[in-house]
Amino acid sequence: MKLILGSASSSRRAMLGAAGVHPDIVPASVDEHTIKEALRSAGATPRDIADQLAETKAVHVSGSHPDALVIGSDSVVMLASGAMLDKPTSLAQAREHLEEMSGTLITLISAAVVAEGGQTAWRHCDVAKLHVRPLSPAFLDHYLDAEWPAISHCVGCFRIETIGIQLFDRIEGDYFTILGMPLIPLLGYLRLRRVIP
């Protein structure tokens, strides 16, 4: 069966590729911001928001590719205060986000949904806890010089696979979840469906 990743995320594509899975790439053209705001207004939890965004992407692409399995995925980052972070829209906002995260515990929730024939066939959410060390102004200058604008596509303003690892004192959770997708459960489902050996 044909497999599609309904995302333009380079990290999700890379982690699948490293695992020997090479889906077609068909980015889902959905208005994530509007969906997220509507869900927030309705009182949805961060976990529900990650799950719904992943499902919306998978189902949207699946509607145009009914004979394929379509993977949708999304991640959200929640501050210790309970506030959710969005992707930064400017260098100044990235710095503000990092200052808010400094010296705190953040929660990252990643969801994956597989759709088939325009319907949800499988879903999984996973949670990681990341302890952000105190971040000095000098470190933030260095970090943003190295990572902007690449982190403009990253909720939480970091790529764990690069210098972003230096933001943290301790991490509790699965590495792939932090990269943006609960990969191991997804691979299990793909084996069950005989998409991969």
Residues taking part in catalysis: 74
If we measure between CA atoms, which residue out of 131, 153, 3, 164 comes closest to residue 74? 153
- Residue-wise DSSP of 135-185: --HHHHHHHHHHHTTGGGGSTTS--TTTGGGGGEEEEES-HHHHHTS-HHH
Contact 67/1 with Cβ under 8 angstroms? Answer: yes
